């Protein structure tokens, strides 16, 4: 596109505009099923609350009856013990049944549930605020990257200005290698988005039908660009649709999204990134863990590029200086010896 347009601005604008258009179209496609699910959920909410209240009331009444029975048994045992020891008058006073106090215990379960619900709302508000901040940061990063791609020469020139002139040749090699793996990383992220979207579509198809499943798959694919938070956000419309269906559908949908996120973080993304960028999957997984600890959830975005940059710096700065004659075959032979295995035969 850059070669055809004879510049970077038009291709970058088209790609950024296309991505924004996909997000807007996905939101538009979700509006109608979400509106229908909200309406149906609002109609079913009183029934859900009533079905939740009945077992709680039964449990409370059984708890009160059990407490009265235990109290009567304990007072009888105390009376018998005191009678046996000759304290008859004290036993008579204690054998009088004490009516259960109408304390707060009678509504303990519902009050506890209400407190948990209010606390959950407070926690959800705090978490939602943090997630909104992350979305704002991601939006800023998106437009920052777009403007960078439109005119990267000035930024690269500023980077070269940080190095002494005698190191410019080595810095040029490093930046050229970094510029080679960046498209591979972007392609691996795009492939991960397509894979997750297709997986969600195939899982949701038997539950919601082809059209709603397609929209949910498209939503998951688009939001896959947001690490960790993307799958959580993509599960919200699916759960709303599931509540509109009713029954045990929400439980199945929640379980499916948890399974998809587990597969995504531990198998799909590490495998795709490792194959595309020629990195070891273990290196990708541990880099994700370290970057999450260091930079939060946004660290997942820079985990694989950091591994590749560290590898490039090791090759160009350390290996050429301290291991000038050591080849990959030599390293493989040493690793095989450490494991007491035969070295692999290179074709």
Residue identified by tokens 């531990």 is 266
Contacts of 138 (CB under 8 A, 6+ apart): 225, 226, 298
Region 258-283 average pLDDT: 79
Per-residue pLDDT at 172: 92
Nearest to 272 by CA among 197, 182, 188: 188
**Domain residues of the chain, as ranges?**
1-135, 152-342
Q: Where are the alpha helices (DSSP H) in the chain?
A: 2-5, 9-84, 88-95, 108-150, 153-160, 168-208, 210-223, 229-245, 249-263, 269-277, 281-295, 299-313, 320-322, 328-338
- Angle in degrees, CA 206, 207, 211, rounded to 5: 80
Region 200-223 average pLDDT: 86
Nearest to 309 by CA among 179, 149, 153: 179
Region 203-227 average pLDDT: 83
Region 314-331 average pLDDT: 87
Nearest to 23 by CA among 128, 133, 139: 139
Name the more confident of 339 and 227.
339
Nearest to 28 by CA among 236, 215, 226, 233: 215
How confident is the prediction for the chain on average, in pLDDT? 77
User: How far is it, in rounded angstroms, from Cα 49 to Cα 248?
Assistant: 16
Quick check: 134 pLDDT over 50?
yes
Per-residue pLDDT at 240: 81
Name the more confident of 155 and 130.
155
Region 11-18 average pLDDT: 87
User: How far is it, in rounded angstroms, from Cα 206 to Cα 110?
Assistant: 37
Nearest to 241 by CA among 62, 29, 58: 29
* Residue 234 and residue 220 in contact, taking contact as beta carbons nearer than 8 Å: yes
Per-residue pLDDT at 45: 65
Quick check: 339 pLDDT over 80?
yes
- Angle in degrees, CA 49, 54, 113, rounded to 5: 60
Per-residue pLDDT at 41: 66
Quick check: 182 pLDDT over 60?
yes
- pLDDT tens, position by position, 66-81: 777 788 878 887 777 7
SS3 267: helix
Per-residue pLDDT at 342: 78
* Residue 88 and residue 79 in contact, taking contact as beta carbons nearer than 8 Å: no
Per-residue pLDDT at 104: 44
Residue 2, number of CB atoms within 10 A of its CB: 12
Provide, rounded to the nearest whole percent, the portion of the chain with pLDDT above 70. 76
pLDDT band at 102 (very low <50, low <70, confident <90, very high): very low
* Residue 233 and residue 261 in contact, taking contact as beta carbons nearer than 8 Å: no
Quick check: 157 pLDDT over 80?
yes
User: How far is it, in rounded angstroms, from Cα 245 to Cα 249?
Assistant: 7
Distance of CA 177 to the CA centre of its chain: 31
Structure tokens at 31: 């509006």
* End-to-end Cα separation, the chain, in angstroms: 36
- pLDDT tens, position by position, 45-68: 666 666 666 666 777 777 777 777
Quick check: 262 pLDDT over 60?
yes
């Amino acid at each position: 596109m850059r070669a055809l347009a004879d510049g970077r601005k038009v291709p970058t604008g088209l790609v950024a505009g296309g991505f924004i258009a996909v997000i807007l179209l996905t939101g538009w496609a979700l509006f109608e099923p979400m509106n229908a699910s909200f309406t149906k959920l609002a109609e079913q909410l009183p029934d859900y609350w009533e079905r939740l209240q009945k077992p709680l009331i039964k449990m409370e009444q059984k708890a009160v009856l059990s407490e009265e029975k235990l109290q009567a048994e304990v007072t009888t045992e105390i009376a018998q013990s005191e009678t046996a020891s000759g304290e008859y008058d004290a036993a008579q006073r204690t054998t009088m049944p004490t009516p259960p106090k109408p304390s707060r215990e009678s509504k303990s379960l519902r009050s506890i549930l209400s407190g948990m619900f209010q606390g959950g709302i407070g926690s959800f508000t705090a978490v939602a605020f943090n997630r909104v901040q992350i979305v704002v940061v991601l939006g800023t990063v998106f437009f920052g990257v777009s403007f960078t791609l439109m005119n990267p020469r000035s930024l690269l020139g500023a980077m070269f200005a940080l190095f002494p002139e005698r190191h410019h040749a080595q810095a040029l090699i490093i930046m050229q290698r970094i510029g080679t793996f960046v498209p591979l990383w972007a392609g691996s992220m795009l492939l991960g988005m397509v894979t997750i979207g297709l997986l969600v579509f195939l899982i949701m198809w038997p539950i919601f039908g082809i059209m709603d499943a397609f929209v949910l798959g498209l939503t998951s694919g688009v939001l896959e660009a947001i690490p960790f938070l993307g799958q959580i956000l993509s599960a919200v419309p699916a759960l709303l649709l599931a509540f509109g269906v009713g029954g045990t559908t929400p439980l199945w949908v929640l379980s499916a999204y948890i399974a998809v996120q587990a597969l995504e973080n531990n198998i799909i993304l590490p495998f795709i990134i490792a194959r595309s960028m020629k990195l070891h999957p273990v290196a990708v997984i541990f880099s994700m863990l370290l970057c999450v600890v260091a930079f939060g959830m946004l660290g997942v975005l820079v985990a694989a590029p950091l591994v590749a940059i560290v590898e490039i710096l090791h090759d160009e700065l350390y290996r050429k200086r301290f291991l000038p004659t050591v080849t990959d075959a030599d390293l493989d032979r040493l690793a095989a010896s450490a494991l007491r295995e035969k070295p692999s035969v290179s074709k």
